[in-house]
Structure 1
Amino acid sequence: MIGSFADQAAVALEIADRRHDAEEVLVLNDRDRIARDLHDVTIQRLFANGLSLQAVLARLADRPEVASRVQGVVDDLDGTIKMVRSTVYALRERESPGGAGLRAKLLAETDRAAASLGCTPALRMTGLLDTAVPAGHADHLLAVLREALANAARHAHATAVEVTAEVTDSELRLRVADNGRSIAQDVTSRSVLANLQQRAAQLAGTCTLTPNQPTGTILEWTAPLAADE
């Protein structure tokens, strides 16, 4: 009887493992389909709409107010395209369990913060974060993001957070904006700012906290990149 029970239990565990593997395959296939549709359809349509509006701008030279509004829409479309591209990358990055690049680590940090925030921070990543950012800069960036997200959850009580990580040829930038209680002047905020400014100073960079509108706080942290890096 014991042997029979053990055999049945082993079969049940194997069936459960196979079912779990099948569900994971379905999820990964679904993510791949969504990422492909976003890239091949949504981004192309947004890009085409932006080109159409830019063509209209040439005909509005005598109507500067209207031209300014159209240009604002074009800029919004450009920002939306960047966000969609980041989403596509995030979907594909989560399919790679062994991802160890900076992008994967940024995704992991925002995912972990969701438990304490009650929401998953919106993440936008721009530039060659995996290849153009030195290891020391990446470590500081992740530490700053971790502290900023913890602060938004514990002290600001934010319900929405937007994170932007960007690297150019000369600079690494991080922006964390929340909609919580504005803490730009309190003691906790000054202590957090001092820690983050110290990290920035070690890399000859800067760190600032400013009020968000209509409420909340914006943290902006930058660090220059040496020419040879």
Structure 2
Amino acid sequence: MLHAVSSAVLAVTRHLSVREVLQVIVRSARTLLDARYAALGVPDDDGSFAEFVAEGVSDKQWDAIGPLPRQHGMLAAMLRDAAPVRLPDIREDPRFEWWPSAHPVLKDFIGVPIRDADQVLGIIFLSNKRTPGGFTLADQDLLTLFAAHAAIALTNARLYERGRELTVVEERTRMARELHDAVTQKLFSLRLTAQAAASLVRADPERALTEIDRVQRLAGEALAELRAVIVELRPAELDRHGLVETLRKHVSLLDRLYSERITFDSPEDGDACDLTPATEVTVLRVAQEAVHNALRHARASSIAVRLSVPGSRLTLEISDDGDGFEVDGPTSRGLGLVSMRDRAEGAGGSLRVASEPGAGTTVFLEVPA
């Protein structure tokens, strides 16, 4: 059994992302105690959970269950008391209150706090042991031992991410200085050249044309430098959560803010695909632009964002059931399609749009993975 704990601990400490550590803790604990359901909640300061990871519940079930749980009932009691809980049937405990109608039925239950000294970092709990008899005292001791190691791994992951965030802030400050110096010089030259061209239009039209050509060249150089810096400005969320989780959180936020139904779907191993940092930024920005277009122009009732990884390529689809448009028509010019195609080509991929009036729109992005 100690060998099983050792294997579980090694699996957890292999990861540096907080989200990955939480997922592996839950998965390992579920395997370790042979439970059907496992979950881990990280409390926030507003009476809910900043993170909540579960195993044994499908995405479809989660959608039916609804928002993340709040700190009530047994979860609140465990946060308050910071002590292990083991029950033959959670429904018979006076601290149990309720769960949503779509929630799976839990019976035998074990929960252990993940602690760093006096601070409760989270609660890991399991339910419905597969072998008869429910959870034993030996299971509780095993989970408590595992939780102690999980606390170390979680603390290390948080410290690592904070270190990376500080590095990102320093790098962004450096790039901001470079952007200011390089682009300011270009724009200053651009302004002087434009003024010179304006003064020469009547007196010397040929020289004015030369100056206008120079204005175009300087504007192109300034635009290229801006794009180069913008590509380097990788959103911090990608470092913190990865592409799939960043997209999931973004779509979830928009779904709460807008009346349209906005959904996200991806394979479980979506973050396992090996994308360069620049390509991850491309996928995120194209998704944001396409969803924004659908919200602003499509008059859709639903928008779906899907990621898939067929073979050595990652495919992003954003589809809506809105008005649609003529892809080659004049209305398509204001939808940022040129910008999205430029991003796709810059990442070695391609972008395609399928749409027609009255039939909705789908944007397809393919990039190497």
Quickly name the TM-score band, shorter chain normalised.
0.5 to 0.7
Aligned equivalents of 1:124 and 1:85: distance in 2?
13
Residue-by-residue CA offset, 1:24-72 (whole Å, 9 max, x unaligned):
26x978x84xx63x34xxxxxxxxxxxxxxxxxxxxxxxxxxxxxxxxx
Tell me which residue corresponds to 2:269.
128
Higher fraction of helix: 1
Provide the rounded CA distance (Å) in 1 between the counterparts of 2:346 and 2:62. 29
- Give 1:112 deviation, angstroms: 3.1
1:173 to 315, 340, 362: 315
C-alpha change, 1:187 and 1:113, in structure 2 (3 Å) is: farther
| Separation in 1, partners of 2:262, 2:315 | 17
Matching residue of 1:14: none
Shift in CA distance, 101/219, structure 1 to aligned 2, threshold 3 Å: same
Residues 175 and 211 (structure 1 numbering): CA distance in 2 closer, same or farther, change over 3 Å? same
- Give the C-alpha shift of residue 168 in structure 1: 3.7
The alignment status of 1:207 with 2:207, answered yes or no, reads no
> 1:175, 1:220 within 8 Å by CA — same for their partners in 2?
yes
**Match of residue 367 from structure 2:** 223
Aligned: 1:24 with 2:48 = yes
Q: CA deviation at 1:199?
A: 0.9
Q: Is the 8 A contact 1:163 1:175 kept in 2?
A: yes
Counterpart secondary structure, 1:121: strand
**Deviation of the 1:106 alpha carbon:** 0.5
Residue type matched to 2:269 in 1? L
Distance 2:257 2:269 in 1: 29
**RCO higher in 1 or 2 (8 Å CA, sep ≥ 6)?**
1
CA contact (8 A) 2:267 2:308 kept: yes
Structure 1 unmatched runs, 5+? 1-19, 40-82
In 2, distance between residues paired with 1:115 and 1:85? Answer: 18
Matched residue SS, 2:266: strand
Report the Cα distance in structure 2 between the residues aligned to 1:173 and 1:179, rounded to whole angstroms: 20
Q: Which residue of 2 aligns with 1:9?
A: none
Check the 8 A contact 1:144/1:196 in 2, yes or no: yes
What residue is the counterpart of 1:68 in the other structure?
Answer: none
Whether 1:187 aligns to 2:326 is no
> Residues of 2 paired with 1:85 and 1:203: CA distance?
35
Cα–Cα, structure 1 residues 184 and 195, in superposed 2: closer, same or farther, change >3 Å?
Answer: farther
Q: SS in structure 1 opposite 2:314?
A: strand
Aligned residue identity for 2:255: A
Q: Which residue identity lines up with residue 131 of structure 1 in the other structure? A: A
SS of the aligned residue for 2:241 comes to coil
2:296 partner letter: R
Distance 2:60 2:270 in 1: 17
Count of equivalent residues: 155
| Identity over aligned pairs, percent | 21
The structure having more radius of gyration, on CA atoms, is 2
- Per-residue displacement from partner, 1:76-126 (whole Å, max 9, x unpaired)? xxxxxxx649969xx89xx99985111210112212323564234111102
Q: What corresponds to 1:137 in structure 2? A: 279
Does the 8 A contact of 2:261 with 2:301 survive in 1?
A: no
Name the TM-score, length of structure 1 as normaliser.
Answer: 0.55
1: distance between equivalents of 2:368 and 2:51?
A: 37
TM-score, with length taken from structure 2? 0.36
Give, in whole Å, the separation in 2 of the partners of 1:169 and 1:87. 28
Decide whether aligned partners of structure 1 residues 117 and 188 sit closer, same or farther in structure 2, where only a CA change above 3 A counts. farther
Provide closer, same or farther for how the CA distance between residues 121 and 223 of structure 1 changes in structure 2, counting only shifts above 3 A: same
2:288 alignment partner, SS class:
helix
What residue is the counterpart of 1:163 in the other structure?
Answer: 305
What is the root-mean-square deviation in Å for CA atoms of aligned residues? 3.8
Task: Report how far residue 172 of structure 1 moved.
Answer: 1.1
